[in-house]
């Protein structure tokens, strides 16, 4: 059988030596064009305004929560989409496979993501078979054969032979180099990536599973550590022509095909094997021995994995429900924490909601914040007209001093108590008592209050 001639090594940047050498103003600076009232107007029904504000705040919060929920769902679905694409396009993408003589390749992907296995020919093939099994077949068939080669290596050339061998297979190589001055390099590498790495640096020992400097006559053995494709390559790194004879004896372990429920000859067209969900069935691809007239001694096919689309669709539903469940649990915890801040009026406590509900007091006072709008306008007219009190103009500091003595909650009664233990005096005794009974926090420092003590003036 006539073989292809040795090929030159790839071009490198430096020739390998012969063996063996290796401007706007701030808002508070702007003056208003007209006098403003000392206090903002308030409607009589102050509780309704607080209810409107609380309702608006709660509706805005609910809108933000819904937006956050759907944002989380979209992010989770995008992550799931990219993970699915990595599986479909990356892990289980169509792959080109080379088979040497007596190859026995078990194809058993994850049944959860792969529904079928299809093998297509890349070139005219013969006697390549695809089998289907209900479970993984036993690796107990043993076959032995020998490949003999007589090769002439010009300077800086190499030649390789490819075999697919399962774990436990053994190679026995006998060589005879017809040169008294030159040596050759014989390597065993795994896969096409290992072969490319060795061709880039043929004298570096870590690029191969086994690297041997051969001269004269000799033999060595090597056992395959796992099931994969292996290359046996010989390279001439000298500047002279070297001849050699090589005998490759192989003891290969093959899968038993007697229990196959399906078999297909790839030469007849596309061959398919369906993988059952939650089952152990698998596919097996085999090749014959050396065929006369096949120079390279190997075959090329394409293996295509059919995705199980139902699993990917169910995964979208599961991811969506999972995100909604997590959000529901977080909302339960959030509502539980907010119940501790709900006041007697049923409003969630915040900086904008009142500390107490409106006092049930029908009497009106001049300093009350619940006076009518006409009272506010009448007072503003007196202030702008420069009215006096007891013959003296009303000064801002006197008015502010009088206001500071009123309860900061109801603006009706004077401040006649203080909170314990913080000691803040900001409310009347009635309002302070209800604050302690409802929220229990000081309106100034928000510290938890234990009791209220009334102040008596003598």
> What's the mean pLDDT when you consider all of the chain?
76
How crowded is residue 255: how many other Cβ atoms within 10 Å of its Cβ?
23
- Residue 165 has a pLDDT of 94
Q: What is d(CA 381, CA 162) in angstroms, rounded to the nearest whole number? A: 105
pLDDT tens sequence across 231-244: 999 999 888 899 99
Q: How confident is the model at residue 389 (pLDDT cuts 50, 70, 90)?
A: very low
CATH architecture of 365-458: 2-Layer Sandwich (3.30)
Inter-residue contact 104 to 250 (CB < 8 Å): no
Q: What is d(CA 353, CA 348) in angstroms, rounded to the nearest whole number? A: 8
Inter-residue contact 406 to 370 (CB < 8 Å): no
218 vs 24, higher pLDDT: 218
Write the CB contacts of 103 (distance below 8 Å, at least 6 apart in sequence). Answer: 163, 164, 285, 286, 287
Which range, of 144-148, 182-186, 266-270, averages the lowest pLDDT? 266-270
pLDDT, mean of residues 115-120 = 90
- Residue 63 has a pLDDT of 66
387 vs 210, higher pLDDT: 210
State yes or no: pLDDT of 458 exceeds 80: no
- Residue 61 has a pLDDT of 55
Q: What is d(CA 200, CA 11) in angstroms, rounded to the nearest whole number? A: 9
Among 255-259, 371-375, 376-380, 393-397, the range of highest mean pLDDT: 255-259
Q: How confident is the model at residue 34 (pLDDT cuts 50, 70, 90)?
A: very low
How crowded is residue 228: how many other Cβ atoms within 10 Å of its Cβ?
14
In this structure, is the dihedral angle defined by the CA atoms of residues 370, 371, 374 and 379, taken in order, positive or negative? negative
Q: What is d(CA 318, CA 316) in angstroms, rounded to the nearest whole number? A: 6
Domain spans of the chain, in order of start: 46-91+308-354, 95-307, 365-458
- Residue 291 has a pLDDT of 59
Q: What is d(CA 293, CA 4) in angstroms, rounded to the nearest whole number? A: 12
HEC assignment per residue over the chain: CCCCCCEECCCCCCCCCCCCCCCCCCHHHCCCCCCCCCCCCCCCCHHHHHHHHHHHHHHHHHHHHHHHHHHHHHHHHHHHHHHHHHHHHHHCCCEEEEECCCCEEEECCCCCCEEEEEEEECCCCCCCEEEEECCCCCCCEEEEEEEEEEEEECCCEEEEEEEEECCCCEEEEEEEECCCCCCEEEEEEEHHHHHHHHHHCCCCHHHCCEEEEECCEEEEEEECCCCEEEEEEEEECCCCCEEEEEEEEEEEEECCCCCCCEEEEHHHCCEEEECCCCCCCEEEEECCCCCCCCCCCCEEEEEEEEECHHHHHHHHHHHHHHHHHHHHHHHHHHHHHHHCCECCCCCECCCCCCCCCCCCCCCCCCCCCCCCHHHHHHHHHHHHHCCEECCEECCHHHHHHHHHCECCCCCCCECCEEEECCCCCCCCHHHHHHHHHHCCECCCCCCECCEEEECCCC
- Residue 76 has a pLDDT of 83
223 vs 26, higher pLDDT: 223
State yes or no: pLDDT of 91 exceeds 70: yes
pLDDT, mean of residues 249-276 = 90
Q: Which fold has domain 95-307?
A: Jelly Rolls (2.60.120)
């Amino acid at each position: 059988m006539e073989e292809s001639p040795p090929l030159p090594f790839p071009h490198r940047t430096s020739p390998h030596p012969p063996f063996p050498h290796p401007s706007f103003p701030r808002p508070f600076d702007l003056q208003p064009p007209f006098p403003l009232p000392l206090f903002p107007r308030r409607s009589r029904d102050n509780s309704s305004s607080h209810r409107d504000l609380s309702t608006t705040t709660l509706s805005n919060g609910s809108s933000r929560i819904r937006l956050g929920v759907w944002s989380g769902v979209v992010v989770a679905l995008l992550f799931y989409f990219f993970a699915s694409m990595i599986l479909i396009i990356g892990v289980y993408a169509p792959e080109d496979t080379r088979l040497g003589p007596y190859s026995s390749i078990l194809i058993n992907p994850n049944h959860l993501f792969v529904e079928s296995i299809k093998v297509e020919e890349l070139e005219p093939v013969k006697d390549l078979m695809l089998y289907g099994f209900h479970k993984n077949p036993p690796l107990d068939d043993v076959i032995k054969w020998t490949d003999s080669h007589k090769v002439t290596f010009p300077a800086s050339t190499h030649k390789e032979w490819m075999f697919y061998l399962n774990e436990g297979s053994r190679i026995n190589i006998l060589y005879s180099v017809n040169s008294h001055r030159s040596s050759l390099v014989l390597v065993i590498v795994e896969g096409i990536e290992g072969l490319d790495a060795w061709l880039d640096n043929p004298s570096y020992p870590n690029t191969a599973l086994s690297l041997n400097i051969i001269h004269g006559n000799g033999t060595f053995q090597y056992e395959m550590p796992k099931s994969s494709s292996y290359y046996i390559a010989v390279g001439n790194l000298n500047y002279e022509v070297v001849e050699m004879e090589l005998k490759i004896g192989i003891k290969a372990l093959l899968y038993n095909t007697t229990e196959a429920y399906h078999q297909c000859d790839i030469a007849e067209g596309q061959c398919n094997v369906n993988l059952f969900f939650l089952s152990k069935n698998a596919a097996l691809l085999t090749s014959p021995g050396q065929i006369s007239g096949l120079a390279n001694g190997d075959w090329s096919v394409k293996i295509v994995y059919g995705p199980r689309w139902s699993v990917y669709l169910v995964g979208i539903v599961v991811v969506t429900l999972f995100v909604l469940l997590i959000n529901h649990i977080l909302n339960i915890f959030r509502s539980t924490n907010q119940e501790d801040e709900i006041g007697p009026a049923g409003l969630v406590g915040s900086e904008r909601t009142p500390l107490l509900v409106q006092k049930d007091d029908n009497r009106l006072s001049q300093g009350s914040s619940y006076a009518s709008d006409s009272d506010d306008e009448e007072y503003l007219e007196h202030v702008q007209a420069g009215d006096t009190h007891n013959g003296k103009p009303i000064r801002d500091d006197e008015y502010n001093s009088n206001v500071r003595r009123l309860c900061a909650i109801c603006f009706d009664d004077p401040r006649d108590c203080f909170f314990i233990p913080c000691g803040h005096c900001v409310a009347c005794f009635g309002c302070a008592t209800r604050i302690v009974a409802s929220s229990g926090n000081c309106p100034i420092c928000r510290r938890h209050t234990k009791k209220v003590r009334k102040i008596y003036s003598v």
